[in-house]
């Protein structure tokens, strides 16, 4: 078993170098978020004559640090269900069935039990890591009802937690032997509910096995306006990474390679980019965040004439006449036009062009070859359906997050010292790509933070902030733009609370990133934040009133034990639901449902061995990406921005936009002439 131990962290303890159960986690709270006890789990292990394997399996169960679990060994050939009553008793709520030699991944029982209670599912599946001398690959049950030609099913045992009630309801007492196929078939027959978490729970030794075929794969064109940096660009890059780790081939394309951003208000055709995609032999286009390069979604219509197109709703631009996030008083329901109440906000469009742009988008979304819109939260899904009309096609997906990069610090005190932060202050983190952007709730946030400012409370602003004095806060540390994920995770992990006053998120990536680092979030109960913050689990949600946000923040400042509990639960929830694997699983299901991808013949979704490096307990963790946002501007540029904002506000008058447009065209023609 020592071969697989080399794939895990050197902080490992226990048999065969296994990490402790809480690697990458805050300490597990004694009770669940609603005050209930953790569920009791009975682990049944089939001996099967493998004494060494049995010893390793038992050790991996004991190392889980899950007091509510106990294990029993089934003698060779012993009936699985004939012994249930004697082995489990009425207080065993869940069962896990292992073969001798199977190893539980660090924290597997906590992750499975947490999801089982939270979802109420009868069956909770996680990732299985297959190994011999090294990691062969990872997989997870894709279609639980799949039965192969040889009669096998996708269930192999230890990667699925089973509700004891469902097992008994399925007629378990009639089974004989350790027959997983028969048990799974009965659970399917009674319609036992099934969910998955996107993190490893089981390592299974496959002696002599080689790297497996990844199965059917797609060639995917990932299309954005300005590339894979900035908030939506980061989200799109992570989705592309999740697809690559699933065996798909992904090629990146940028609209601004053909037309500079200054021409966006006057540009809706990109013939060279469209020709490159159409000639690239791709099966699918995955588009997102186009408004920085074009006034419409015409490229999606042109590409949709030759191949399927899916457009991720990182914002609502595909549904509106102009804006990415409609303001109060939006006219979308009746038709966007020149009376748009926010026409001077980015992305700007001359008022007399808005109605035409709106009509063109609606025609595309209801016409032949219309893109399938992908919503990154429940709120985005319901809003798209409400705004898009009956002909719109929209589907729910999850975004991907590098859970091995964003993880709780091993030593928060040492981390604070290294960052030059006060050792004993309660530190509140806030920010965005542009930390003082009005659309992110700057006015509310300034008022809220001013209410809780006092000795012993410090503040960390992450992102571009040209004038930190605008917040008028003592003990404010402004990091500036943080351009790599590893450094950003350090700032999250060093702080106690993340707060946002934004009202315009389709999801909200910062609350999930902070939660993965064990830092809870306080936010308004609006928009996609209702998915990014799980109220009472990963943070607190309040009505969109500054006084209510300030009161919730003050209460959490004063309650250190509650902060720690929320941080621990945030890590648990988001690691299982928002990993690269979680996003890939939901995208796989979508592709199969749409007929773009054949279902795997064995009912299991497969991932490359490199997927393991995306989790906190891997020895060779992926370091995360750099260049995620633009670096800090020179001081002179920051001063010019401040002067421009003081004179003209955040937007630009039409004469300035036209001047920049003409200048961009001139530069392009000069460049071609060289």
pLDDT tens digits, 31-85: 999 999 999 999 999 887 788 899 999 999 999 999 999 998 887 666 655 455 5
Query: Residue 22 — pLDDT band, cuts 50, 70, 90?
Result: very low
Helix axes 485-494, 509-516, angle to 10 degrees: 70
Supply the pLDDT for residue 81: 54
pLDDT tens digits, 200-242: 999 998 875 555 555 689 999 999 999 999 999 999 999 999 9
Residue range 388-407: average pLDDT? 95
Supply the pLDDT for residue 1: 41
Would the pTM count as exceeding 0.85?
yes
- Least-confidence region, from 48-62, 403-417, 493-507: 48-62
pLDDT tens digits, 94-126: 999 999 999 999 999 999 999 999 999 999 999
Supply the pLDDT for residue 23: 45
> With pLDDT > 90 as the criterion, what percentage of the chain qualifies?
76
Residue range 519-529: average pLDDT? 97
10 pLDDT exceeds 70? no
C-alpha pair distances (Å), 421 with each of 32, 415, 461, 513: 32, 9, 13, 20
Residue range 436-441: average pLDDT? 89
Query: Residue 90 — pLDDT band, cuts 50, 70, 90?
Result: low
Residue range 492-513: average pLDDT? 97
Residue 451 structure tokens: 């209410």
Supply the pLDDT for residue 327: 76
Helix boundaries (H) for 246-285: 271-278
Residue range 620-644: average pLDDT? 92
438 pLDDT exceeds 90? no
DSSP 262: G
HEC string of 312-370? ECCCCHHHCCCCCCCCCCCCCCCCCCCCCCCCCCCCCCCHHHHHHHHHHHHHHHHCCCC
Average pLDDT, rounded, for the chain? 90
Query: Got the DSSP string for 617-647?
Result: TBSS-----B--SPPPPPHHHHHHHHHHHHH
Query: Residue 326 — pLDDT band, cuts 50, 70, 90?
Result: confident
> With pLDDT > 70 as the criterion, what percentage of the chain qualifies?
91
* Rounded Cα–Cα distance for residues 586 and 577 (Å): 10
- Taking the CA atoms of 543, 36, 188 and 573 in sequence, report the sign of the dihedral they define: positive
- Least-confidence region, from 184-188, 306-310, 325-329, 522-526: 325-329
pLDDT tens digits, 261-278: 999 999 999 999 999 999
Residues 6+ apart with CB under 8 A from 599: 142, 143, 146, 592
Parallel, antiparallel or unpaired: strands 604-607 and 135-141: antiparallel
Supply the pLDDT for residue 650: 85
Query: Residue 25 — pLDDT band, cuts 50, 70, 90?
Result: low
């Amino acid at each position: 078993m020592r071969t697989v131990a080399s794939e895990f962290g050197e902080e490992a303890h226990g048999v065969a170098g296994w990490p402790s159960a809480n690697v990458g986690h805050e300490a597990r709270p004694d009770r669940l978020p609603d005050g209930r006890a953790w569920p009791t789990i009975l682990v049944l292990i089939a001996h099967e004559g493998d004494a060494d394997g049995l010893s390793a399996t038992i050790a991996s169960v004991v190392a889980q640090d899950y007091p509510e679990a106990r294990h029993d060994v089934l003698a060779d050939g012993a009936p699985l269900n004939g012994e249930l009553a004697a082995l489990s008793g009425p207080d065993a709520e869940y069962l896990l069935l292992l073969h001798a030699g199977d190893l539980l991944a660090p924290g597997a029982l906590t992750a499975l039990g947490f999801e089982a209670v939270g979802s109420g599912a009868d069956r909770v599946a996680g990732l299985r890591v297959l190994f011999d001398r090294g990691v062969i690959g990872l997989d997870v049950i894709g279609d639980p009802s799949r039965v192969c030609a040889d009669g096998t099913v996708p269930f192999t045992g230890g990667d699925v937690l089973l509700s004891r009630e469902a097992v008994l309801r399925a007629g378990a007492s009639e089974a004989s032997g350790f027959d997983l196929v028969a048990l799974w078939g009965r659970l399917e027959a009674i319609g036992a509910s099934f969910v998955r978490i996107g993190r490893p729970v089981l390592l299974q030794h496959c002696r002599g096995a080689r790297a497996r075929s990844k199965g059917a794969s797609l060639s995917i064109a990932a299309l954005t306006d300005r590339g894979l940096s900035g908030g939506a660009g980061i989200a799109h890059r992570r989705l592309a990474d999740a697809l690559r780790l699933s065996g798909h081939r992904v090629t990146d394309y940028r609209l601004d390679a053909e037309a500079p951003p200054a021409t966006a208000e006057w540009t809706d055709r990109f013939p060279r980019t469209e020709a490159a995609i159409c000639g690239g032999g791709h099966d699918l286009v995955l588009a997102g965040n186009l408004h920085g390069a074009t006034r419409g979604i015409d490229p999606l219509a042109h590409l949709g004439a030759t191949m399927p197109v899916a457009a991720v709703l990182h914002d609502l631009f595909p549904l509106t006449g102009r804006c990415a996030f409609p303001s109060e008083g939006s006219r979308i329901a009746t038709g966007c036009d020149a009376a748009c109440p926010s026409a001077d906000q980015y992305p700007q469009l001359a008022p007399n062009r808005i109605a035409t742009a709106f009509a063109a988008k609606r025609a595309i979304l209801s016409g032949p070859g219309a893109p399938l819109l992908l919503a990154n939260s429940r709120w985005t899904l319901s809003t798209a359906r409400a705004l898009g009309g009956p002909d719109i096609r929209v589907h729910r997906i999850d975004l991907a997050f590098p859970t091995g990069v964003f993880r709780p610090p091993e030593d928060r005190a040492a981390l604070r010292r290294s960052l030059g932060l006060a050792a004993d202050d309660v530190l509140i983190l806030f920010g965005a790509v542009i930390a003082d952007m009005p659309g992110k709730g700057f006015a509310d946030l300034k008022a809220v933070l001013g209410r809780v400012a006092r000795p012993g409370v410090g503040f960390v602003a992450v992102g571009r902030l040209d004038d930190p004095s605008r917040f008028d806060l003592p003990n404010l540390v402004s990091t500036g733009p943080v351009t790599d994920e590893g450094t950003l995770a350090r700032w999250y992990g060093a702080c106690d609370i993340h707060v946002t006053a934004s009202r315009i998120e389709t999801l909200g990536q910062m609350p999930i990133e902070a939660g993965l680092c064990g830092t809870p979030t306080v936010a308004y109960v609006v928009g996609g934040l209702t998915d990014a913050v799980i109220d009472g689990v990963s943070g607190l949600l309040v009505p969109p009133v500054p006084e209510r946000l300030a009161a919730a923040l003050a209460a959490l400042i004063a309650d250190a034990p509650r902060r720690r509990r929320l941080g621990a639960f945030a890590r648990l929830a988001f690691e299982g639901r928002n990993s690269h694997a979680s996003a890939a699983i939901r995208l796989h299901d979508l592709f199969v449902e749409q007929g773009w991808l054949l279902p795997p013949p064995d009912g299991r979704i497969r991932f490359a061995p490199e997927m393991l490096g995306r989790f906190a307990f891997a020895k060779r963790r992926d370091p995360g990406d750099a260049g995620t946002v633009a670096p800090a501007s020179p001081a002179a540029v920051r001063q010019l921005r401040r002067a421009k904002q003081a004179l003209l506000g955040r937007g630009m008058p039409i004469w300035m936009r036209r001047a920049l447009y003409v200048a961009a065209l001139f530069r392009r023609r000069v460049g071609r002439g060289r």
